[in-house]
Amino acid sequence: MGSNPKNPGSNAEIEPCLSVVMPVYNERDTIDNVIARVLEQRPTQELVVVDDCSSDGTFDRLKEWPARDPRVRVFRHEENRGKGAALRTAISKATADWIIIQDADLEYDPEEYHLLLGPVKAGRADVVFGTRFGGGPHRVLYYWHSVGNRVLTILSNMFTDLSLTDMEVCYKLFRRDILQGLRLEEDRFGFEPEVTAKVAKLKVRIYEVPISYYGRTYAEGKKIGWKDGFSAIRCILKYSLT
């Protein structure tokens, strides 16, 4: 049957199997560090980066990476279209058996890929969500953000009949054929409720595992805002009911 998903070992014990897809917008200060961290993980078969028309010099740094490591593939949008649009481009380019989403801001730790791969390697999951509310270490930040996240997760669960604890989490792992088979539409942060609703309808095996979270403040570059919360509600209703 494979290893116990509660004790999945480490990244060093897992063969390369991941397409890491990374949307990037104005992350000059963290981009080199996060790419290096992703490439250090043995499960990383390739890293597909889509620059969403950064204006701070991020793309100049990205262009150097394919020559340094051929696993890195870099693409660019000529106009800023949003995180969801960048993810659609990255997902369409992925070639490994499994796809995991990685933000470029180091709020999530690539050394925890093995945690999400645990249920996969045990042969028990087709999709794995991380959860920042499962007891892992996390930076203490905005109270109302956490409340909003839980409200959105509950609303999503009501319509999808799932029992997730963190629908808005970045770390989501998918079997590639499942994710590439979805018709994704949202250009901004609506990607999270949209992909959750559409995966739920497929009746595939979904797991959730605790992960760490090292959140940023707005002064440190955090981008999501209260307007995106209202957009998430719209997406939950739209993609659950249609």
Which of 209, 145, 140 has its CA nearest to residue 172? 209
Question: pTM value?
Answer: 0.90
Per-residue pLDDT at 220: 47
**Domain assignment of residue 7, yes or no:** no
The number of distinct structural domains making up the chain is 1
Which of 173, 212, 167, 208 has its CA nearest to residue 19? 173
Q: Which CATH number covers residue 51?
A: 3.90.550.10
Mean pLDDT of 27-56: 97
Query: DSSP class of residue 138?
Result: B
Domain span including residue 171 = 14-241
**Domain assignment of residue 138, yes or no:** yes
**Domain assignment of residue 8, yes or no:** no
Beta bridge partners of 100: 20, 173
Per-residue pLDDT at 78: 97
- The DSSP line for 17-71 is -EEEEEEESS-TTTHHHHHHHHHTSTTEEEEEEEE---SSSHHHHHTTHHHH-TT
Per-residue pLDDT at 142: 56
* Three-class secondary structure of residue 159 per DSSP: helix
**Domain assignment of residue 232, yes or no:** yes
Per-residue pLDDT at 207: 98
Mean pLDDT of 140-164: 84
- pLDDT tens string 106-139: 899 999 999 999 999 999 999 999 999 876 655 5
**Domain assignment of residue 70, yes or no:** yes
- In this structure, the chain runs to a length of 242
Cα–Cα distance for residue pair 238/241, rounded to 1 Å: 6
- pLDDT tens string 191-210: 999 999 999 999 999 999 99
- Contact at 8 Å (CB) between 165 and 208? yes
**Domain assignment of residue 2, yes or no:** no
pLDDT band at 71 (very low <50, low <70, confident <90, very high): very high
Torsion of CA 28, 106, 223, 135, to 10 degrees: -170
**Domain assignment of residue 181, yes or no:** yes
**Domain assignment of residue 5, yes or no:** no
Amino acid at 66: P
